[in-house]
């Protein structure tokens, strides 16, 4: 069954049933519960939020949830973060800096094969890093890895790479641990994607579905599953219907309001505490948000506890307009920002924008709760005399040609530490700088922090940078959401994870019985 058929079935259900019975009507299609023991064989069908005709298999430029789900299963980075977001080696065994921090010696794991049978070699790492930072076609990781002197990368032997840097960088391991930095063979061809991951690509239809088979030559224990099917779902109702009617086996981004219903119908719910955040984004270079007083006012409009309670169903915790809550340098001493409509009005009046009207662009493809958050913010803004027109777009439109140029919109980010997050979204050269943030004082502090090997001194620099973002940045970070996913009773292997949804989309440990 294709995603389109599933969506069509969901639409027919919606048209034929009262709203109150729409989802519970699917409960007749129950499955026998798993006994918790992994089973070899079978296929897992996963419904993933969003997706469009711009879906990609490029390991270095994943944009949407379906892209990320595919990337994690096809490719692997040199380092990774475990379920508790602790840094650990992956394809690499170790990495050590020189005394001056200008050159790092990377040691690769032996016995790793690509899907085409080729053994992982230092040449592949060099080719991958050069592909990422290629000035003619830079990928999403190009900014964070721009510190690497790509031309001077050197193969010491089959499992050793010398990585020279343009200047000292203290946290190179963390940069190399991003899911979008998967290692590929030196002759990589996107038309025939090859990686070292636990699954091999069989077919790919952008905006619809992709299928994968178990990689028998995987360097760790191979996957239990014979096949993996990833289906795009821009609509939550269709996605939930498909799970309850046993047309798919697991879904990401379950709206918290449906937790009880899923359990009542015999399904399972996975809740993970994460550092994920769905910011409201203000372009700092576009009126009215080019006035810092307007940005400060909009941050004071938000009733954060109400957002967490109503949008997340209590599945999360309030934010303070800062990201990277698991970073040891996260500044918990800055005053918690609270709703202050009187001060918001005063700031808007001082800025010459009393009773403004703005358009807030959102989409269901950003993740569960995004539309509800936009609508609730619009209600809260009335108290400050601000009229917010919520514009709901489909995923393809939101992430289309105007993505990163919306003056006032939303987005989503997964757990990251502070430095990698800044590189990804808070610099002029960042690939996803949705607020167009480019602050000279902030940039100087970040440059100093990257070069600082003393953890305590680096932490002070990062806290100073956070204070700048806290005072004049372009993100409204009202909360951090628990990741809520759901799966059928006959599925086992999912466990809480602070990274991506559905146990970091790592389906190698998942099995389906019956």
User: What are the CA-CA distances from residue 25 to residues 20, 127, 163, 350 (Å)?
Assistant: 9, 53, 58, 55
401-414: per-residue pLDDT in tens?
A: 999 999 999 999 99
**Distance of alpha carbon 272 from alpha carbon 266, whole angstroms:** 20
CA neighbor of 176 nearest in space, from 253, 107, 257, 279 = 107
What average pLDDT score do residues 242-257 get?
A: 96
The predicted pLDDT at position 29 comes to 53
**pLDDT greater than 60 at residue 1:** no
CATH class of 280-481: alpha beta
Name the fold adopted by 79-175. Dipeptide-binding Protein; domain 1 (3.90.76)
CA neighbor of 2 nearest in space, from 196, 231, 206 = 231
Whole-model pTM: value is 0.85
Domain boundaries along the sequence of the chain: 3-10+36-75+197-274+482-512, 79-175, 280-481
> Does the domain formed by 3-10+36-75+197-274+482-512 have CATH 3.40.50.300?
no
The predicted pLDDT at position 244 comes to 96
As a residue count, the chain comes to 514
% of the chain exceeding 70 in pLDDT? 94
User: Six-digit token pair at 81?
Assistant: 């973060």
171-184: per-residue pLDDT in tens?
A: 999 999 999 999 99
171-228: per-residue pLDDT in tens?
A: 999 999 999 999 999 999 999 999 999 999 999 999 999 999 999 999 999 999 999 9
**Distance of alpha carbon 412 from alpha carbon 478, whole angstroms:** 12
User: What are the CA-CA distances from residue 432 to residues 46, 404, 411, 478 (Å)?
Assistant: 27, 7, 10, 19
């Amino acid at each position: 069954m294709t995603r389109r058929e599933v969506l069509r079935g969901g639409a027919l259900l919606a048209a034929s049933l009262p709203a109150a019975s729409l989802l519970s009507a699917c409960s007749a299609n129950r499955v026998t519960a798993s006994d918790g023991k992994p089973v070899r064989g079978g296929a897992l069908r996963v419904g993933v939020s969003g997706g469009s005709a711009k879906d990609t298999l490029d390991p270095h430029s994943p944009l949407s949830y379906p892209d990320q789900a595919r990337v994690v299963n096809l490719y692997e980075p040199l380092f990774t973060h475990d379920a508790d977001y602790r840094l650990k080696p992956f394809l690499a065994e170790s990495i050590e800096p020189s005394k001056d921090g200008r050159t790092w010696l990377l040691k690769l794991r032996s016995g790793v094969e690509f899907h085409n049978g080729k053994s992982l070699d230092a040449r592949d790492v060099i080719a991958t890093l050069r592909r990422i930072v290629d000035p003619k076609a830079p990928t999403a990781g190009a900014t964070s890895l721009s510190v690497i002197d790509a031309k001077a990368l050197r193969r010491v032997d089959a499992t050793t790479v010398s990585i020279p840097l343009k200047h000292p960088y203290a946290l190179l391991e963390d940069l190399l641990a991003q899911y979008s930095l998967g290692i590929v063979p030196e002759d990589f061809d996107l038309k025939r994607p090859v990686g070292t991951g636990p699954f091999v690509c069989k077919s790919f239809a952008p905006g619809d579905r992709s299928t994968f088979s178990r990689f028998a030559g995987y360097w760790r224990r191979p996957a239990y599953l014979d096949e993996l099917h990833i289906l795009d779902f821009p609509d939550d109702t269709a996605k939930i219907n498909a799970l309850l009617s046993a047309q798919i086996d697991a879904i990401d981004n379950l709206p918290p309001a449906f937790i009880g219903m899923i359990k009542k119908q015999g399904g399972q719910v996975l809740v993970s505490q994460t550092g994920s955040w769905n910011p409201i984004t203000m372009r700092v270079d576009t009126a009215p948000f080019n006035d810092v007083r307007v940005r400060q006012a909009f941050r004071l409009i938000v009733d954060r506890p109400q957002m967490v309670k109503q949008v997340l169903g209590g599945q999360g915790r309030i934010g303070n307009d800062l990201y990277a809550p698991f970073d040891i340098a996260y500044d918990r001493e800055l005053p918690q920002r609270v709703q202050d409509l009187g001060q918001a009005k005063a700031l808007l009046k001082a800025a010459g924008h009393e009773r403004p009207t703005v358009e807030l662009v959102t989409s269901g493809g950003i993740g569960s709760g995004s539309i509800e958050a936009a609508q609730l913010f619009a209600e809260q803004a009335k108290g400050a005399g601000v009229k917010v027109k919520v514009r709901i777009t489909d995923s393809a439109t939101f992430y289309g040609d105007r993505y990163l140029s919306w003056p006032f919109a939303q987005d989503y980010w997964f757990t990251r530490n502070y430095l990698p997050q800044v590189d990804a979204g808070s610099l002029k050269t960042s690939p996803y700088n949705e607020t167009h943030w480019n602050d000279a004082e902030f940039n100087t502090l970040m440059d100093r922090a990257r070069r600082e090997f003393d953890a305590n001194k680096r932490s002070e620099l990062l806290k100073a940078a956070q204070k700048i973002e806290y005072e004049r940045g372009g993100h409204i970070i009202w909360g951090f959401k628990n990741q809520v996913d759901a799966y059928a009773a006959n599925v086992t292997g999912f466990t809480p994870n602070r990274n991506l949804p559905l146990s970091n989309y790592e389906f190698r440990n998942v099995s389906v019985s019956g």
